[in-house]
Structure 1
Amino acid sequence: MELNAAWLKVDFYYFSGDTDKIEAQVELAKKLSKACNNPKAYYFIWGNRLITSYIIQNKMNIALYEVNKMLKEAEQEDYKPGIAECFRSFAVIYLSQGVLPLAIEYFQKEIDLYESEDIPNHNLPVEYSSLAQCAIELNRVEQAEEAIKKGKAQMDISDPYQVFTMCKASLYLYLHQKEFTKALEELQTMEKLCAENENMNQFIDSLHDAQLKYYRKTRQHDKALATIDKLSKEEPYKSTVYLSNGLNKDRGNIYRETGKFADATQAYWQYIQGNDTLTSHTMQNAISEFNTILEVELLQKDKKALWLDVQKKQLHVTYLIIAFMFTLSIVGLFFYIRIYKLNTKLKNSEAELRIAKEKAEKTSLMKSAFINNMSHEIRTPLNSIVGFSQVLSELNADKPELKEYSDIIDKGSSDLLRLIDDVLSLSSIDQEDEIPYNIPDDINNACNESINAVSSNIKPEVELAFVPSRHDLIIQTNPIKVTQILTQLLHNATKFTEHGKIELSYEIVNKQIIYSITDTGIGIPEEEQEHVFERFVKLNSFSQGTGLGLSLCRLIAEKIGGCLTIDKEYKSGCRFLLVLPFIQ
């Protein structure tokens, strides 16, 4: 009875949004669950209430910290439903931050664990629906279709919420496949379920969200705008800044598509202002969350250090007494004690090293999560600035001075976005052992894309040329990474070439593709040609950039099985040679 009462209080604070009281009440309910030997209640209250509450408050770092704690405890107890609950919490966190590949991975882990261990879960079709929606966003149509098929096979048709979620997943799939008639049928089923079941009123925002997606895809702009107005007055959009701000972006996109550029500008401006506020709050929350985590870690460390100090003092006193009693009479025992003390210190050292290793691994995971969060938070306002400046440029096409200012904003934002991409890419690639190099693609595609990417930066007196040696040749490659390297090298050439020519070419020799980027610019002194590949190295301290571009290019080249060097024999400028495996 006491546990039930505590559980009801947790639910009351959770659904009423009383975040100040829920933490203390969750701790009380967890203790009662342990005392009653009820692990199901223990992990449900921890994951589905406390951690979900942190996610709703956008306290993602604290949420990740709590999930890691819960996962460690569940694994120690070997409680499979608790581990599955941790996987679900990880998936929801990454889904809320837009990290869809990780969200899919943890939804799949949760489902696989329930099915492999034959653990009963009435709401498993809901998890299949979430998995399918994430897969659709990443264009993984086959994975989405399989998830929907399995979810419908296990769906309880008497449960309106399960039917609702599977209809929503099917709706998104049909919209993705442009089968609008089937999509409308699924939407009408969802509307009917909400109309006929009072308990579905709490999911009315989810229905409106589905309606908005349908109207956007079918270009019913007036209905889409009306749905946005409804969502802005409903929970959780009404009280959640990043959700309500996303509606401003959707509104701006609709106005832009219908040619209402003034309204689009106003909507984008509201979106940018909201993003500025959200970014500031996010940074403050991140600092506060890390301070909270740090304080907890320091308290635990101090407590452990105090306990170890007491133990060491007790052990030391014991050793002194034994030494005093037996040293004079038994020499052999003295040596035994000495060896015992050395072994004890060795074991303590091993334990400390093991703890340090675990902390380092945990810190690495938290750093990766933090980088993903910050990547999303930084890119979003920058993308907004770029979009807004493009709208301004279109609106002021007949005003040369204003168009020039808009173009400057666009270029500056793009440069800043590229610099941030370099830093984040370098941090991400450092943690990867190797990069895939097995994607079939035309050998000329990466070259053409890189040429197109830098063509707008070419100075008037410079000629940009691409000289292909093969046509319609399909190879095994990594088009994204190869394009990234070639674009960076061409971008460097455009910065330091004032007149003459920049040429991209390649040749195939001894099962190797040798890409050549040649310019007639200022060149690189021979004694500096290896130094420039080091991180944060810039020969000209006044030039734009972080000094990471060439270092990142070489790192990527090596991890896809190639190398990047400078041709020392070329003296009329600079020539970079990118050598990669030739695999058909």
Structure 2
Amino acid sequence: MFKTYADMLLEEAQRQKNDLYKGNALLSIMRYYYSKNPDSLRFYLKQAEPIYLATNRIEDLCRVKGWNIYTLVLGGTHDQVLGEVESLKELAVRYNYPEGVDMANQALANFYFNIGLKDEGADLCDEILQGMEKRGVSRIRRFYLLRLLLNEKPKQEYLFKLDTCIRNCEKEGITQLDEEHSLPFLKHAFYLYSAQYYVEQKESSQVHFYLQKLGELEKQYNMNTERIMTQFLWMSYYNLIRDYDKALAIVEQLEHILLNNKRFNDWTTVEDIKADIYYKMGRGMESAKAYRDSKAVHDSIIQAQYYEDLAKLRTQREVDKLKLQSKELELDAEKSRARSWVFGGGAIVLLLLCGALGFLAYSRHRYSARLKIAKEKAEEADHLKSAFLANMNHEIRTPLNAIVGFSQVIAEEGDIETRREFAKIIQNNNELLQRLIEDVLDISKIESNTLTFVLTDQDLQALMKDLYSIMSLRIPENVELQLDDCPRFTLRTDRNRLTQVLANLLNNAIKHTHEGYIRFGYKVAAGEICFYVADTGEGIPEDQLEHVFDRFVKLTEWTTGVGLGLAISKALVTKLGGRMEVCSKQGEGSTFSVIFPV
């Protein structure tokens, strides 16, 4: 029913084109698929990501990306985990959301625990927890991290932190931490983890104390919780105090429940405890039977897991071959029962050998593919670097030649007017060289992702008037600069970078407009704000429109500048979450647009 209502909400939100409700519906659907179908979760995540970015719902996006990492770990897709963790960190840093970095590190710690790096996982969790405490992060977020640590191995220091959290909530009168978690929920977790801790310490009195507290809490708040863990702890308690009859009674209940729920790993643990209890009671035959049953199921689980892992490492053709070999071995075994044990041992060795060979072949294939891709990328990068350096060499040499040449002849020139003309040429080329260096630095910062943005609320009317005042000083005599009437509007953006983009567009218009007008301003439409710069200049040929935002692109060889301005402008706008568009007709002028979602 929950999924049905979420689908209905998504359908209605799409019909109304309402991104808020669409984002809410997708969050509900992804929450539903989180534990049921990870592939569906990832399908809807692709739809939700652009919506959350456009509506600045970074917290929801980080949370869902964290869910995705947990499903990758649970599904054994370990080769994708580190890449997704780094992607989540990059997103959180880009949008200045430190809690997102915590989510990524917490998912990474869970990955460490899952692959057996217990100490590394615990160290990372401690580091995250210290950072949370310094920043005063909400108690429920700290509880998630403590729960991850306590699930791996309850420790007294973590229990103390959880107990302190509960006591502070009681002092402040807090009963509800968020929509899903209440103070009794935290107490229930504390009592449960405390009982687990004291079972490991073999302190039966403390185990009994916290189990009694747990029962009283569940009865007081009528909690409908899973009883398996509680029964397991009571069984461990009775085993500690040597009340074996009560322990065995709980064992029988747990066996039935765990088999019905297909929790075979937990069932084998209970069977091992049952065997140990029988042994302590002097009932050797029953202890041996319980141990034998446990090992048989455990071996079946290991074998099933082995075949599952093996299947992931081979192609379908190899799997078919192994199945055929298995059938042939079974047929031979039926024909010769006397040699079944010897032949069975040979089949196992052969199977392991085939698995090892398949794994090695698959590993070499993947390594070769990665090496080929890396080689192609390196060659491409080297080619791009060479082209870039060649362009830079040409572009830097042009103003330098003018500066050096005219600097030599200016000293020998006697006519004052000619000297002034030479000085003007030197000054213009100095400015060109300085602009080239600034553009290259901007390109470098953009590519290395070190460009910083300071987002503040900006009065766009005032910004456009300032820009008009600056640019009007550069307008030629036969060109009129026009600022359209703009509605009063406040936009959260980086003032310097937005001014840099618009100034680049206006400078380009000035260079290519010899008569007529240059008009600029902005319009606010449904969900978007559009800045524009229109001119009556030379225009752009149709075959060059799609390359106009590339680096070092100039319409003619006589065009001044280095051809980096539009490439930098587009990169800055993209970093700020917007897009750029251009429409032009040769001989009639051009219009450049910068569009941001509101």
Q: TM-score, normalised by structure 1?
A: 0.46
Q: TM-score, normalised by structure 2?
A: 0.45
Higher relative contact order (CA 8 A, sep 6+): 1
